[in-house]
């Protein structure tokens, strides 16, 4: 399987794939044997432990346009069905944008759309936080919590994917032990941390609070190595899979990017261990 081979080739233990072109509506059709072959290859793979799928970027469950909403629900359901068929650990999605109308204008329809998708999904839907621009839904933890509460199902059906670049761009700093602790406490207060099932681990091309979704290679952006290490090394995140969405050399993550992520993780774990000793 090419996706698993590429993941293994760069030293990854977790990979993310699209079930179709992320910028088209038409779903990719797969024969049952292709889906089952991937599922078995993932189950028995010696190094890649999990596959996550990302839903199409065109999906907007917060739209006021009935036709766009219908297309979005159909597309998400198709993506979720494929993700479930290949044994994915979750399908990650951007909820969409209300174009400034506010979360109250679309909360019910978002919940209804997610509930419909859950009917065809055996893997959890993972709502991704956003950088905060363009009336996007999920710019803060409270919005994500309101959606999850409205759907009213457990973490086996709906959870969170936390993107480090989006978190930074939306105005939440985690440059220190204290701010990282505060950010994760805020997430836990809104959404139990058992809902946090995946991390997108990225640096940022833009400044803290910019509201721009611009990813950068680890250690090369405005977040920087020290803050990223502190974040990914936090004790409560040690069982949460992390996926790189960095540009690499223009074609996505490379072997060296995965190696940097591992070094930052080790550095962060050591820093938290020493920090706890200092507080004792």
- Whole-angstrom distance, CA of residue 259 vs CA of residue 42: 22
Between CA 216 and CA 222, with CA 221 as vertex, the angle to 5 degrees is 135
Contacts of 44 (CB under 8 A, 6+ apart): none
Can you list the domains of the chain with their CATH numbers? 2-279 (3.20.20.150)
Cα radius of gyration (the chain) = 18
- pLDDT at position 277, please? 78
- Whole-angstrom distance, CA of residue 151 vs CA of residue 236: 26
- Whole-angstrom distance, CA of residue 229 vs CA of residue 226: 5
Question: How many CB atoms within 10 Å of residue 122?
Answer: 14
- Is residue 45 within 8 A of residue 37, CB to CB? The reply is no
**Nearest to 109, CA basis, from 159, 145, 69, 57:** 69
- pLDDT at position 280, please? 56
Going through the chain in order, the beta strands assigned E by DSSP cover 14-18, 50-54, 90-93, 125-128, 158-163, 196-200, 203-204, 215-216, 242-243
Along the 280 residues of the chain, how does pLDDT read in single tens digits? Answer: 799 999 999 999 999 999 999 888 988 899 999 999 999 999 999 999 999 999 999 999 999 999 999 999 999 999 999 999 999 999 999 999 999 899 999 999 999 999 999 999 999 999 999 999 989 999 999 999 999 999 999 999 999 999 999 999 999 999 999 999 999 999 999 999 999 999 999 999 999 999 999 999 999 999 999 999 999 999 999 999 999 999 999 999 999 999 999 999 999 999 999 998 777 5
- Whole-angstrom distance, CA of residue 273 vs CA of residue 139: 31
Q: What pairing do the DSSP bridges indicate for beta strands 215-216 and 125-128?
A: unpaired
Measuring CA to CA, how many Å separate 134 from each of 46, 98, 172, 212?
42, 8, 18, 9
Q: Which residues pair with 52 in a beta bridge?
A: 16, 90
Assigned token pair, 267: 């550095």
């Amino acid at each position: 399987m090419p996706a698993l081979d590429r993941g293994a080739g760069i030293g990854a233990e977790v990979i993310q794939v699209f079930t179709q072109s992320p910028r088209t509506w038409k779903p990719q059709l797969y024969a049952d044997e292709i889906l089952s072959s991937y599922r078995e290859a993932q189950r028995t793979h010696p190094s890649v432990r999990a596959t996550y799928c990302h839903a199409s970027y065109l999906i907007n469950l917060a739209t006021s346009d009935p036709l766009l909403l219908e297309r979005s629900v159909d597309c998400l359901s198709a993506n979720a069905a494929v993700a479930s068929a290949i044994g994915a650990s979750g399908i990650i999605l951007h909820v969409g944008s209300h174009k400034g109308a506010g979360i109250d204008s679309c909360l019910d329809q978002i919940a209804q759309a997610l509930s419909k998708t859950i009917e065809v999904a055996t893997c959890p839907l993972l709502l991704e936080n956003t950088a905060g621009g363009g009336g996007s839904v999920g710019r803060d933890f409270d919005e994500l919590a309101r959606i999850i509460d409205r759907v009213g199902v457990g973490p086996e059906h709906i959870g969170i994917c936390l993107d480090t670049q989006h978190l930074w761009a939306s105005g939440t700093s985690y440059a220190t032990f204290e701010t990282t602790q505060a950010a994760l406490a805020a997430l836990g207060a809104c959404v139990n941390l058992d809902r946090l099932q995946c991390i997108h681990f990225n640096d940022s091309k833009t400044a803290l609070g910019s509201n721009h979704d611009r990813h950068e290679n680890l250690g090369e952006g405005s977040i920087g190595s020290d803050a990223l290490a502190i974040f990914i090394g936090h004790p409560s995140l040690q069982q949460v899979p992390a996926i790189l969405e960095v540009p690499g050399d223009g074609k996505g993550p490379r072997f060296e990017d995965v190696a940097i992520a591992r070094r930052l993780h080790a550095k962060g774990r050591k820093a938290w261990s020493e920090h706890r000793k200092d507080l004792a």
